[in-house]
Chain A
C-alpha cells in the first residue's frame, strides 16, 4: 500500500485527516494507468479522490497545458468543485492552474482558455461538445492525461450521457493516453455504468471500486394526524407534522416530487410558520439568481429548511443538513437513497429520513421502499442504446472540427458504450442525414452540408453550417417557457406557455412562494404584480412526475398480496386492505385482478397492473382501442402508478380479450400512427439532430409555433418516407423509454391465463384512489373532433353539456385550487369540473 506523497501527506495531517482507502486506491490505479469507476455514497471524499492522482502528478511534474478534464452534469457543481480544489492547491503552494468553462464563462476567458488551457478544466458535457467542435480541438486536448466524470450515474442512460460518451471517444482519439475516472453514487447496474465509461465499450476495461456506506439510513413513516387521504399526491394534510419536525431539527431538506407540490407545501408551511423560521424553496423553474441565493443561504447555515424538488438531488454538499423529509412516495429506491444521502454527510452516522406518504397506496409504497433499502436492493433501468439524434449532432460537430473518414468515425463511435451495438446501416443513414437530409427523393443534392473529397474524407460546406450547429448544440430541448416578470422587481422564474394561455388578466397564481396577479403578456414574458384575489392556481409542468419503478412496483404488489407482510402498515391501511379482501379480492402476485362495476350510468373497469403511470397511459390507449373494436363504447381512462381505470358505455365482458399480447400488434400500430407522444418525441429528436431550430429565449419563434411546425414535418415525413432515419429513431426511442412498451409486454405475458375478473356491484376500496385521480385521458380516435364538437355546442347553448363526465368522479379528498378557462369559469362553482382543465394539456398533447 502506497503512502501519500508530500506536500499532500502534510496537508492532510495538518487537518487531522487520513486519506481514505478509496483515495489511495485511485492513486494506485492511476499509477497503473487504469480506468476506474468509483461507486461511493455522498460524503466519502469522492471528488477529491478523483482529482488526487492529477494533483499528485502535477505537483511532481509541473507542466503547461491541459492535464485533467472534469465533467459534471451541473454548472454549479463545476464552479463549486473549482472553489474547493483551489483552496488546497493554494495552501500547498502547488503550481496548478484551475478554471471552469460553462455557458456562463465570459467570451474573453473562453478565448484565452483555447490559447492557454489551464491544467485542470472543469466543465459540463455541453461545453465540452462545443470545445470539440472547434478546429483547434486536437491541439488543445493532445496532452490530456485524465478525464474525471462526476455524478456519472446521472448522465449514463440519458442523451447527455450519450453525447458525453461520444465526446470521450473523440478524446480517446485525440489523446489516447487519457485515463478515465467515473464518480458515481451506488447504482443497480454497475456493469452497464462501467461499459458506458469504458474506452472500449467493454465493462472489463474499467476497474470497479466500491465503498459501502457506513451505517444504513433510518426511516420513519409520518402520517397525518387526522384522516388518511384516499387520493391526491401533494401531502398537504401532513403539513403540521412536517412543520413540527422542521422545528425540532437543525436543518431540514423537504423533498417533494413536483414543482407544483413544492409551491403548495411551501405555502402550507408558511401559513403555519408562527415562529417565522427561515424556510426557503428551490425548484428548477425559479430564476437562477434566486436559486443561487437559496443555495448560498443554505451553505452559510442561515436556513432551517428548504422545500426542494429534484433540482437538489445532485449537487453541492451541505454538511449541516440533519434531516431529510420526503413528501409523497419516493417512486424509486435509488432515488430515495440519493435524497436521503443529502443529510448528514458523514459516513459513520446513519442518515435519517422521514417519509410522508400522501395517500394510502403511497403508504404501501413507502413501506416497500424502506424494506428495499434495508435489503440493500437498488432499482433503476439499465442504460438504453444511444440516440441516433445525438449521433447526428456529433457527426456534424466532428465534421466542423476537421474532415473525417466514415470508416474511422464508425470505429470511434462504436467504442463508446451507448453505441457499441450501432449497426453500420444506422451509422451510414445518420451520416447521410447530416449530409443531405437522407431523403429517398434526391432533391437536395445542391444543398448538401457535407462533401466528399477524392480520398473519402467528408468536409463541411461553408461556415454557415458550423454556425448553425453551434446554435443548436446540446441535447436538452426545453418545453416552451415564458419568463415571469414582476413589475419593478425583475424576473422570478419561468412557467410553461400553456399554463399562461389558461390565464386571463386579473387571475392569480402561486409562484416562487407568492401569490401573483396576471397582468398581461409581453413578448417572451408574463407580467405580474403582487397579490390578487380569489384562490390562486398553481402552475404545473409537463413530465414532472416520475413513474414508479418496476422494481418498486413488484414490491408493492408483493406486500398487498400477502397479509403477513402487512405488519409495517399503519392501521387505516390494513383496514382498507381487509375491506378490499371482503368486497372483492387482493391483487394476486403474478396474475391480474380486473374488477368491473357499474357507476353513474356507465361501467368501470379497474385493472391492478402496477406498472407505473407511463406504462398505464399507453396500456389504457391500447385497451380502449380494443374495447372500441369490440363495441364496448369506451369513454375515457386514467392511469395511476398502480392501476388502470377505464369507463365505458357498455358492460365490458370477456375482459381476458382486452389484456392479450396481440393488442401490441394492430392497436399499437394504429395508436402509434396518431400518438401525440410520438410527435413530441419527434420534436426532440428533430431538434437535437438539427432538422429544426432549437428555440432560443427571446427569439421571435415561440415554442408553441415550433411544436406545430415539427408536427407538420412529422406528418409529411410519415406519409412520404416512413423509414426515414429520424422516424426510425423516434419509434425506437418511444418504444424504449417513454411508452414503457416493454413493461406492458412483460405484464401481458405474465398474466396470460391468470386474469381474475370480478364483477362487482359497486366500486371496491382499492379502486377508489384511481377514480379520484387527476390526469384523465380521452379515448383516441376522433376524440379531438368530438371535444371540439362538444365545446362548440356548449358555447352555442351555454349549457352544462360536459356535466355527465364530472359525475363519474367520487369525492375529492385533497383539492388543489384550480380554476379553468372561460367555459369552466361559467361553472366555477363546480371545482370538480375545473380540475380537468388542469390536466388538460395532457390530453391535448396526449401526455
Chain B
C-alpha cells in the first residue's frame, strides 16, 4: 500500500489508499464517517441488516492504527450512525476499540449523526479540531483553506475503456481535503454532485481508492458525467 502526498496549507499530508489521512509531522491519523452500528440502527427500524458492520470496520481500522502508531487519532464525525450508537456497541468491539486507542489520544469530532460524545470510550469530544494551520471538522465549510472534512462520502467514477469504475475517493485542491467514508455500510455521493463540486470551484483532483494505491483524476471533466447520485442512501432512508 503506498500513500500519496498532498500539500495543504504548507503541510505534507499522506492519503492512504485504505481511506485514512496521515499527517507525518504531527503523527496524526484522521478517519471520517465510520458509522459504527449502522446495522443495528436499521434493525431498529425493521431492516435486519447484518450486525457485523462494526466488527468489519474495526477489522480494517485496527491494522492502520498499528501501522501508523499515531500520537493522535481524529475521528472526523459520524463515527456512530446515531446518537445511541455508542451505547449499542457490543462489549467485545468496545474493548477492542478502547484497547487500540490506549496508546494515543482520541479526538471525537461531533457529526450530524452523533452530536454527543461517545459514551464510555477514551478521548475528548469536540465540535472541530484545530492543529497548526489545519482545521478538522465534520461538515465542510463553504469557503475554507487548510480544512480536512468528511460528511459527504465522496466517490467518483473513472471512465476506462471497459466502462466506468466507481470507488470512494479523497478530493483535494490543495486548499482542503474531503475524506472518503470509512465505515463498512457507508454509501457514496458522486463528486460531480453540486454539494461536492461547489466546494472545489477551481477544480481539484479525485484520488480513487485502489487495493494498492490511489488513482488520481482531475475533478473537472475527470470522466463521464455522473450528475445524479443523491444522498448516501442507507444514511437517509
A799 to chain B, nearest CB (A): 13
Give the residue name and chain of the A residue nearest to B233 (CB). A705
B172 to chain A, nearest CB (A): 15
- Tell me if A504 is interfacial: C-beta within 8 Å of chain B: yes
Scoring B residues 19 to 33 as 1 if CB is less than 8 Å from chain A, else 0, what string do you get?
Answer: 000000000000000
A residues near B225, Cβ cutoff 8 Å: 501, 503-504
Known contacts A712-B185, A716-B185, A841-B163: A789-B46 contact under CB 8 Å: no
B residues near A374, Cβ cutoff 8 Å: none
Q: Which A residues fall within an 8 A CB radius of B? A: 433, 436-437, 439, 441, 443-444, 447, 449, 464-465, 468, 482, 497-498, 500-504, 521, 523, 691-693, 700-702, 704-706, 708-709, 712-713, 715-717, 719-721, 724, 776, 778, 782, 784-785, 787-792, 795, 802, 805, 820-824, 833, 836-837, 839-844
Decide: B188 and A708 in contact? CB cutoff 8 A.
yes
A residues near B157, Cβ cutoff 8 Å: 501
Decide: B160 and A788 in contact? CB cutoff 8 A.
yes
- Tell me if B224 is interfacial: C-beta within 8 Å of chain A: yes
B residues near A715, Cβ cutoff 8 Å: 56, 184
Known contacts A504-B225, A709-B187: A787-B233 contact under CB 8 Å: no
B217 to chain A, nearest CB (A): 6
A residues near B234, Cβ cutoff 8 Å: 709
Decide: B52 and A717 in contact? CB cutoff 8 A.
yes
Most buried by B among A464, A712, A843: A712
A441 to B56 CA separation, bound complex (whole angstroms): 13
Interface residues of B in 201-237 (CB under 8 A from A): 208, 210-213, 215-218, 221-234, 236-237
B residues near A700, Cβ cutoff 8 Å: 230-231, 233, 236-237
A378 to B158 CA separation, bound complex (whole angstroms): 46
B219 to chain A, nearest CB (A): 12
Decide: B164 and A788 in contact? CB cutoff 8 A.
no
A699 to chain B, nearest CB (A): 9
Known contacts A444-B48, A720-B52, A822-B223: A785-B162 contact under CB 8 Å: no
A709 to B231 CA separation, bound complex (whole angstroms): 12
B159 to chain A, nearest CB (A): 4
A447 to B162 CA separation, bound complex (whole angstroms): 43
A429 to B16 CA separation, bound complex (whole angstroms): 41
Decide: B90 and A521 in contact? CB cutoff 8 A.
no
A845 to chain B, nearest CB (A): 9
B residues near A821, Cβ cutoff 8 Å: 159, 164, 223-224
Known contacts A501-B224, A705-B232: A787-B165 contact under CB 8 Å: yes
- Tell me if B40 is interfacial: C-beta within 8 Å of chain A: yes
Known contacts A823-B161, A824-B161: A447-B236 contact under CB 8 Å: no
A31 to B221 CA separation, bound complex (whole angstroms): 72
A residues near B229, Cβ cutoff 8 Å: 702, 704-705
A503 to B224 CA separation, bound complex (whole angstroms): 7
A residues near B164, Cβ cutoff 8 Å: 498, 501-502, 821, 840, 844
Known contacts A437-B48, A795-B218: A844-B231 contact under CB 8 Å: no
Give the residue name and chain of the B residue nearest to A842 (CB). B163
A477 to chain B, nearest CB (A): 16
A5 to B48 CA separation, bound complex (whole angstroms): 57
Q: Which are the 8 A-B pairs with shortest beta-carbon distances?
A: A840-B163, A437-B48, A705-B233, A843-B162, A720-B52, A443-B51, A821-B224, A787-B160
A704 to B232 CA separation, bound complex (whole angstroms): 11
- Tell me if B119 is interfacial: C-beta within 8 Å of chain A: no
A839 to chain B, nearest CB (A): 8
Q: Count A-B pairs with CB separation below 8 Å.
A: 192
- Tell me if B43 is interfacial: C-beta within 8 Å of chain A: yes
A785 to B226 CA separation, bound complex (whole angstroms): 20
Scoring B residues 51 to 70 as 1 if CB is less than 8 Å from chain A, else 0, what string do you get?
Answer: 11101100000000000000
A544 to B94 CA separation, bound complex (whole angstroms): 49
Known contacts A504-B225, A693-B237: A787-B50 contact under CB 8 Å: no
Most buried by A among B49, B218, B222, B228: B228
Size band of the B side of the interface? Answer: 35 or more
Decide: A719 and B40 in contact? CB cutoff 8 A.
no
A788 to chain B, nearest CB (A): 4
Decide: A521 and B228 in contact? CB cutoff 8 A.
yes
A444 to B51 CA separation, bound complex (whole angstroms): 8
A735 to B56 CA separation, bound complex (whole angstroms): 28
- Tell me if B166 is interfacial: C-beta within 8 Å of chain A: yes
A430 to chain B, nearest CB (A): 13
Given A437-B43, A709-B187: 20 more A-B contacts, CB < 8 Å = A443-B40, A443-B43, A449-B46, A464-B46, A692-B49, A702-B230, A702-B233, A709-B185, A713-B185, A716-B53, A717-B50, A720-B50, A721-B52, A787-B162, A821-B159, A821-B224, A822-B224, A823-B159, A839-B163, A844-B163
B residues near A465, Cβ cutoff 8 Å: 46
Is chain A's binding surface mostly helix, strand, loop or mixed?
helix
8 contacts between A and B (CB under 8 A): A482-B228, A501-B226, A701-B236, A708-B188, A713-B50, A715-B184, A795-B217, A822-B221
B residues near A788, Cβ cutoff 8 Å: 158, 160, 165, 167, 208, 210, 215
- Tell me if B44 is interfacial: C-beta within 8 Å of chain A: yes
B225 to chain A, nearest CB (A): 6
B residues near A839, Cβ cutoff 8 Å: 162-163
Most buried by B among A503, A709, A824: A709
Give the residue name and chain of the B residue nearest to A803 (CB). B161
Decide: B52 and A500 in contact? CB cutoff 8 A.
no
B79 to chain A, nearest CB (A): 18
Decide: A778 and B162 in contact? CB cutoff 8 A.
yes
Give the residue name and chain of the B residue nearest to A695 (CB). B233
Decide: B55 and A720 in contact? CB cutoff 8 A.
yes
Known contacts A691-B49, A721-B52: A843-B163 contact under CB 8 Å: yes
A residues near B52, Cβ cutoff 8 Å: 439, 441, 716-717, 719-721
B residues near A503, Cβ cutoff 8 Å: 225
Decide: B233 and A709 in contact? CB cutoff 8 A.
yes
Decide: A712 and B187 in contact? CB cutoff 8 A.
yes
B residues near A464, Cβ cutoff 8 Å: 45-46
B residues near A712, Cβ cutoff 8 Å: 184-187
Known contacts A785-B210, A844-B163: A708-B187 contact under CB 8 Å: yes
Decide: A791 and B40 in contact? CB cutoff 8 A.
no
B211 to chain A, nearest CB (A): 6
A802 to B236 CA separation, bound complex (whole angstroms): 40
Decide: A833 and B56 in contact? CB cutoff 8 A.
no
Decide: A447 and B231 in contact? CB cutoff 8 A.
no
Most buried by A among B45, B186, B226: B226
Most buried by A among B45, B49, B163, B213: B163
B residues near A721, Cβ cutoff 8 Å: 50, 52
A23 to B50 CA separation, bound complex (whole angstroms): 54
Decide: B43 and A521 in contact? CB cutoff 8 A.
no
Decide: A444 and B167 in contact? CB cutoff 8 A.
no
Decide: B50 and A705 in contact? CB cutoff 8 A.
no
B23 to chain A, nearest CB (A): 25
Decide: B56 and A720 in contact? CB cutoff 8 A.
yes
A717 to B39 CA separation, bound complex (whole angstroms): 11
Give the residue name and chain of the B residue nearest to A467 (CB). B46
Decide: A705 and B184 in contact? CB cutoff 8 A.
no
B residues near A824, Cβ cutoff 8 Å: 159, 161
A822 to B110 CA separation, bound complex (whole angstroms): 40
A104 to chain B, nearest CB (A): 27
A residues near B232, Cβ cutoff 8 Å: 705
Decide: A701 and B233 in contact? CB cutoff 8 A.
yes
Q: Which of A500, A705, A724, A784 lies in contact with B165, CB distance below 8 A? A: A784
Known contacts A497-B228, A704-B229, A708-B187: A447-B158 contact under CB 8 Å: no
A795 to B215 CA separation, bound complex (whole angstroms): 11
Most buried by A among B157, B210, B218, B233: B233
Decide: B51 and A437 in contact? CB cutoff 8 A.
yes
A residues near B161, Cβ cutoff 8 Å: 787, 790-791, 802, 805, 823-824, 833, 836-837, 840
Most buried by B among A433, A436, A795, A841: A795
Known contacts A437-B50, A841-B163: A444-B43 contact under CB 8 Å: yes
